Amino acid sequence: MGFSASDVVPFTQARANLSELADQAKAGAEKIITKNGESYVALIDADRLDYYHRLERERIHLLLIDDARRGIADIEAGRTYGADAAIAQLQQRRGAAPIGKVAKRRG
């Protein structure tokens, strides 16, 4: 959705016309409120915000399903590691000491 110049409102103007802007948002307009010339907050209908949140949750679920599918494909293709090997590989990437081996303290 594109924005027109009338959808960008300075903070002081928004404060003075909040009721009118809220009515416009309820009717479907999305307003960008600026502060010191930069985007600050958005004013949108609460139902539309709820819809956006549901879309984001659905997107996250789809990403999780995709990750699960790739994991299953890895298992089917034999691209697996035992737990010890996987932990060692993670520790190597992070530069951590192996589990069970704690550096001795001096002092």
Q: What percent of the chain has pLDDT over 90?
A: 75
Is 53 part of a structural domain of the chain?
yes
The pLDDT of residue 6:
82
Q: Over 70: is that where the pLDDT of 103 sits?
A: no
Q: How many domains does the chain have?
A: 2
Q: What is the mean pLDDT of residues 48-62?
A: 98
Q: What is the mean pLDDT of residues 26-35?
A: 96
Is 101 part of a structural domain of the chain?
no
List the beta bridge partners of residue 105. Answer: none
Q: What is the mean pLDDT of residues 17-23?
A: 97
Instruction: Give the global pTM.
Output: 0.62
Location of structure tokens 């959705």: 1
For residues 60 and 75, membership in a common domain is answered with yes
Q: Over 70: is that where the pLDDT of 21 sits?
A: yes
Q: pLDDT averaged over the chain?
A: 90
The pLDDT of residue 104:
54
For residues 10 and 39, membership in a common domain is answered with yes
Is 87 part of a structural domain of the chain?
no
Q: Which residues of 22-55 are buried (b: 16+ CB within 10 A; e: fewer)?
A: eebbeeebebebbeeeeeeeebbbeeeeeeeeee
Determine the Cα–Cα distance for residues 63 and 79; give it in Å rounded to an integer: 21
Determine the Cα–Cα distance for residues 28 and 22; give it in Å rounded to an integer: 10
Is 33 part of a structural domain of the chain?
yes
Q: What is the mean pLDDT of residues 57-86?
A: 95
Tokens found for residue 60? 């996250």
Host domain of residue 61? 48-82
Residues recorded for the chain: 107
Tokens found for residue 71? 């994991």
Is 103 part of a structural domain of the chain?
no
Q: Over 60: is that where the pLDDT of 106 sits?
A: no
For residues 9 and 26, membership in a common domain is answered with yes
For residues 29 and 54, membership in a common domain is answered with no
Determine the Cα–Cα distance for residues 41 and 14; give it in Å rounded to an integer: 11
Is 96 part of a structural domain of the chain?
no
Location of structure tokens 């307009």: 29
